[in-house]
Amino acid sequence: MKTWQLLLFSQILLCSATLTLGEDINQTEELWTEILGSPKATVPPDPGGKVVWRTDFYAALKEAQEDARPMFVTWRCIPCKQCAEFDKNVLEGSEKLDPLLRRFVTVRMIDAGQLDQRYFPYLTHQDLDLSWWGYFLRSDGGLYGVFGGKDHVSDSTRISEAALVNSLDRVLKHHYDPRRESWDIDSSQPDPSATKVGPKDSRGYELLLEKYPGLAKPDPKLGSCVHCHQVGDMRNLEAIKTGTFSVEKVMQQWPLPENVGILLDRDDGLLVKSVAPESVAAKAGVLAGDRLGMANGVRLFGQADFRGVLHRASYEADTILIGWIRDGEVHTGTLTVENGWRTAENSWRKTIYSGVYGPNMGFFPLEGPRSGNGEGLSIKPWMGPEPSERPVYATGLRPHMEIVAIDGMDQDMNIRKLITWFRFNHKDGDEVIYTVKGGKEFKYVLPDKE
36-252 shares its CATH topology with 359-445: no
Segment 167-178 shows an average pLDDT of 98
Segment 144-158 shows an average pLDDT of 96
Segment 136-164 shows an average pLDDT of 97
Number of C-beta neighbours around residue 196 at 10 A: 12
Helix ranges (H only) for 392-442 are 415-425
The DSSP string of 102-137 is TTSEEEEE--GGG--TTT--HHHH--TT-SEEEEEE
pLDDT tens, 80-97? 888 999 999 999 999 999
Q: Is the pLDDT of residue 409 over 50?
A: yes
Segment 420-432 shows an average pLDDT of 92
Alpha carbon distance 259, 279 (integer Å): 9
Tell me the sheet residues that pair with 381. 365
Nearest CA-CA partner of 296 in 55, 12, 63, 4 = 12
Average the pLDDT over each of 57-61, 80-84, 330-334, 367-371 and give the range with the smallest value: 80-84
Fold of 3-35+254-337: Pdz3 Domain (2.30.42)
Beta-sheet pairing, 132-137 with 105-109: unpaired
pLDDT of the residue at 65? 97
Q: Percent of the chain at pLDDT above 90?
A: 81
pLDDT tens, 95-138? 999 999 999 999 999 999 999 999 999 999 999 999 999 999 99
Tell me the sheet residues that pair with 406. 409, 434
Q: Is the pLDDT of residue 266 over 60?
A: yes
* Domain 359-445: CATH class, spelled out: mainly beta
Return the domain boundaries, the chain: 3-35+254-337, 36-252, 359-445
b/e sequence 162-182, b meaning 16+ C-beta within 10 Å? ebbbbbbbbbbbbbbbeebee
Tell me the sheet residues that pair with 206. none
Q: Is the pLDDT of residue 185 over 70?
A: yes
Q: Percent of the chain at pLDDT above 70?
A: 92
pLDDT of the residue at 422? 94
Q: Please compute, for residue 114, the number of CA atoms within 13 A of its CA located in the half-sphere on the CB side.
A: 17
Q: Please compute, for residue 292, the number of CA atoms within 13 A of its CA located in the half-sphere on the CB side.
A: 38
Segment 297-312 shows an average pLDDT of 97
Tell me the sheet residues that pair with 441. 435
Q: Is the pLDDT of residue 71 over 90?
A: yes
Give the residue with greater pLDDT, 132 vs 450. Answer: 132
Q: Is the pLDDT of residue 14 over 90?
A: no
Alpha carbon distance 199, 146 (integer Å): 19
**pTM for the whole structure:** 0.88
The answer to whether the CB of 91 falls within 8 A of the CB of 56 is no
pLDDT of the residue at 23? 42
pLDDT of the residue at 217? 64
Helices 161-175 & 84-92, crossing angle to 10 degrees?
50
Residues 6+ apart with CB under 8 A from 216: 209, 224
pLDDT tens, 201-230? 999 999 999 988 877 665 555 456 899 999
The pLDDT-based confidence of 2 (bands split at 50, 70, 90) is very low
Nearest CA-CA partner of 172 in 243, 83, 99 = 99
Segment 433-448 shows an average pLDDT of 95
Q: Is 220 exposed, middle or buried (0-12, 13-18, 19+ CB in 10 A)?
A: exposed
Segment 176-189 shows an average pLDDT of 94
pLDDT of the residue at 351? 93
Residues 6+ apart with CB under 8 A from 348: 129, 150, 151, 152, 416
Average the pLDDT over each of 183-192, 222-231, 283-292, 433-442 and give the range with the smallest value: 222-231
The DSSP string of 130-177 is -SEEEEEE-TTS-EEEEE----SS-SSSS--HHHHHHHHHHHHHHHT-
pLDDT of the residue at 17? 40
Helix ranges (H only) for 273-326 are 280-284, 303-312
Domain 36-252 indexed as CATH 3.30.470.10: no
pLDDT tens, 311-342? 999 999 999 999 999 998 999 999 999 999 99
Alpha carbon distance 435, 410 (integer Å): 9
Nearest CA-CA partner of 379 in 357, 410, 352 = 410
The pLDDT-based confidence of 449 (bands split at 50, 70, 90) is low
Residues 6+ apart with CB under 8 A from 112: 75, 77, 122, 128, 199, 225, 226, 227, 228, 230, 231
Q: How far is CA 185 from CA 15, 143, 288, in A?
A: 10, 11, 27
DSSP assignment letter at 244 = -
